[in-house]
Amino acid sequence: MKRNQQSFVVREAMPWFVVAALGFSIIFRFWGYEWALIPALFMLCLFLLFRDPYRAVPPLPLAVVAPVDGRIVATGLVSDTVLPGDWNRIVIRVNHLGAYTIRSPIEGKILDVRDRTRGWSGGDAVKGLWLNSEEDDDVVLLFPGSYWRFGPKAFVSYGERLGQGQRFAYLRLATRAEIYFSPSARINVKAGDRVAAGAGVLAELVRE
């Protein structure tokens, strides 16, 4: 199995750790350990939010892996909900004590999900990640119910390619993830199962 790992914490958070460490050193030196607890707690929060744990991506090229740490709350076929047509959908309740990161469900090219829904009533309001694989499989990842302006924040752009299980966004205050994929795929999880981002196999796409 390959490892999807960049560092002990995500690189984007390192400047914050440096600032917090300097603040801890200065405050501890001049004001004592009681006041130094403030930057120490700040560093602990940074670690919880931006840690980047090892995740063993399964050696299954057709697998749809979990994008977030959490618990499965629903699986099954849906039609014309937030997206037109028939889809398999898996709903995950986000575990906010898990890693504060989002990983790609499949390997594929990032497209604008609004293009997938253009011309359909309400389509322009849909926001999410649409991945299209080389085999022309579509997987759509949405985070409905996110707090205003505090939904997931991606650090990739349309047109880029993501590897299976690759970290591509910050979770922030999202509470639920929904993954949509082909109705012919085999779902491997059920309600109540816990999954780990980048490692848990939600389903397997079927080649006809």
Q: Determine which of 24-33, 100-109, 160-169 has the lowest per-residue pLDDT on average.
A: 24-33
Q: Are residues 153 and 79 in the same domain?
A: yes
What residues does 124 pair with on adjacent strands?
none
Inter-residue contact 127 to 140 (CB < 8 Å): no
Domain residue limits at 156: 56-204
Q: Are residues 115 and 158 in the same domain?
A: yes
Q: What is the DSSP letter of 147?
A: P
Tokens 């959490």 -> residue? 70
pLDDT at 182 over 80: yes
Q: pLDDT by residue (tens digit) across 36-73?
A: 888 788 877 777 777 777 788 888 989 999 999 999 99
CA distance 53 to 133: 26
Of residues 175 and 11, more confidently modeled: 175
Q: pLDDT by residue (tens digit) across 138-175?
A: 999 988 865 556 667 778 888 899 999 998 887 777 78
Q: Are residues 130 and 164 in the same domain?
A: yes
pLDDT at 79 over 50: yes
Q: What is the pLDDT of residue 3?
A: 40
Question: Would the CA dihedral through 124, 129, 132, 138 be positive or negative?
Answer: negative
The closest alpha carbon to 143, from 120, 115, 163, 171, belongs to: 171
Inter-residue contact 35 to 156 (CB < 8 Å): no
> H or E segment at 174?
none
Question: What is the count of structural domains for the chain?
Answer: 2
CA distance 13 to 131: 26
Q: Are residues 42 and 78 in the same domain?
A: no
First vs last Cα of the chain: how many Å apart?
Answer: 26
CA distance 30 to 22: 12
Q: Are residues 119 and 40 in the same domain?
A: no
Q: Are residues 75 and 173 in the same domain?
A: yes
Q: Are residues 95 and 41 in the same domain?
A: no
Q: Are residues 12 and 37 in the same domain?
A: yes
Q: Determine which of 12-16, 84-88, 131-135 has the lowest per-residue pLDDT on average.
A: 12-16
Q: Are residues 16 and 62 in the same domain?
A: no
Q: What is the pLDDT of residue 5?
A: 46
